Amino acid sequence: MADKKFELTDLASGKKSLLPVKSGTIGPDVLDIAAINRDHGVFTHDPGFGFTSACESRITYIDGDAGVLLHRGYPIEQLAEKSSFMEVCYLLLNGELPNRPDLEKFTNDIQHHTMLNESLLRFYNGFHHNAHPMAMVSAVIASMSAFYHDSMDIHNPRNREIFAHRIIAKIPTIAAAAHKHSLGQPFVYPRNDLSYCANMLNMFFAVPCEPYYIDPVAAEALDLLFILHADHEQNASTSTVRLAGSTGANPYAAISAGVAALWGPAHGGANEAVLSMLEQIGTVENIPKYIAMAKDKNSHFRLMGFGHRVYKNFDPRAKIIRGACHKVLESLGQTSNPLFELALSLEELALKDDYFIERKLYPNVDFYSGVIYSALGIPRSMFTVMFAIARTVGWVAHWQEMISDPAMRIGRPRQLYTGSVKRDYVGVEKR
């Protein structure tokens, strides 16, 4: 088959260029636009990067119209049902599902990197007790770059692998330390005999004065949520990690930048905002008032947990979480959960409304996740931290993919300048 090309014509001068088309394995083709600047001296302009492919990637595929999400080709529904978070981590990092010995070795490696350097633990004392945990987590991860700087050669594959294992293993410990600091409780050290999620629950909820029972239902629910949040191609935080990492920056610093980007309510911060919104709505009778507010262009209010840049159909992760809510709440003996019931009613009413139908606004991953986190006893301010723990593997996989690509270049977008034209400096006394 002949190579596909697009022809671009400057209608003023009649000058033509041929733009090569690149095809992936699935999904829309992309145009290689280098000739636009070379032949015509213009750039493309795409604020918000809604129509721009910034890199080639083999990790995750989304078809937003069909509601499809694949990790390394495997549908998210199958991974959620049959896999485990450790296995999904291995898959995202290595490209293939592990055989049993590889999975055991990988899990063991993660389990044996969980401790933090004691000096890092002292950082938390510098934060006020009510500091937002995302601020603490981002700062402590950034400070890890000071602990692992000289030993981290980003061009050395083994160094990169050690970094990947360290950050995936330590981020639950970092998060739990932030939680304990907020509560004024002693820090609970990690236990390497426990699974990833059981260890996280133990670090969050155990206290030295009494035994703590790790509920396997809670650990399993957390494992499922972590699978569903593990990666999502070139979202804002992943693109942030790629951009920061493309300068050759220390990868812990790049991951810290990703945590900061995730925190915003348009991204991972939405899970915290959904719970605040549901509490604000309070009762089913109030829902129409809030839907009207979300539609009112003079109000800044949006239905949090609704809408997505890529999904113009159901977010498949939201469907799975909604199904899991029923199961988890029942297993935890919380058969009547007013927040979940309110969320279901809100979804039902919004999806009947023309405003949401026309704009294809459906519940996203953040809409129902907070219901499960709350049921597990995780405080609202920690919801986005949970997202960060799970997404760390995605950030690392993308960073690894980028750094190991010999064609990697620094990320450096251009702009449409609309500021003042050249003018001469005027001394302060003459202004």
Q: What's the min distance (Å) between Cβ of 36 and ligand CMC?
A: 24
CB 307 → ligand CMC: shortest distance, Å?
Answer: 2
Q: Could you tell me which of 321, 100, 114, 328 has the C-alpha nearest to residue 227?
A: 321
- 4 versus 359: smaller Cβ distance to ligand CMC: 359
Q: Using CA atoms, how far apart are residues 245 and 243, in angstroms rounded to an integer? A: 5
DSSP 210: B
What secondary structure does DSSP assign to 77-115, as a single string? HHHHHH--HHHHHHHHHHSS---HHHHHHHHHHHHTT-P
| 366 catalytic per annotation | yes
Least CB distance to ligand CMC at residue 300 (A): 10
395 phi, psi to nearest 5 deg? -60, -45
Residue closer to ligand CMC, measured from CB, 48 or 427: 48
Rounded to the nearest whole angstrom, what is the least distance from the CB of residue 302 to ligand CMC in the complex?
4
Q: How far is the CB of 14 from ligand CMC (least distance, A)?
A: 36
Comparing C-alpha atoms, which of 384, 358, 379, 369 is closest to residue 136? 384
To which H or E segment does residue 20 belong?
Answer: strand 16-22
Widest pairwise Cα distance in the chain? 80
For ligand CMC, give the closer residue by CB, 365 or 371.
365
The answer to whether 350 and 356 have CB atoms below 8 angstroms apart is: yes
Phi, psi of 20 (to 5 degrees): -65, 145
Task: Indicate the residue among 90 and 356 with the shorter CB distance to ligand CMC.
Answer: 356
> CA-CA distances (angstroms) from residue 352 to 48, 66, 282?
29, 20, 20
Rounded to whole angstroms, the Cα distance separating 386 from 370 reads 10
| Catalytic (active site) residue 300 | no
Catalytic position from the list 308, 326, 398, 405: 308
Tokens of residue 229, six digits? 């949040």
Which neighbouring-strand residues pair with 61?
70
- For ligand CMC, the closer of residues 43 and 49 by Cβ is 49
Question: Closest CB to ligand CMC among 91 and 262?
Answer: 262
Shortest separation between residue 356's beta carbon and ligand CMC, angstroms:
7
Of residues 223, 231, 315, 366, which has the active-site annotation?
366
Q: Which helix (H) or strand (E) holds 75?
A: strand 74-75
- In the complex, minimum distance from the CB of residue 237 to ligand CMC, in angstroms, rounded to a whole number: 8
**Kind and range of the H or E element at 217?**
helix 216-229
- Residue nearest ligand CMC, CB atom distance: 307
Tally Cβ neighbours within 10 Å of residue 322: 19
Comparison of 309 and 380: residue with beta carbon closer to ligand CMC: 309
CA distance 271 to 379: 12
Q: Contact residues for ligand CMC (CB under 6 A)? A: 48, 235, 266-268, 270, 294, 302-309, 359, 361, 364-366
**Residues with catalytic annotation?**
308, 366
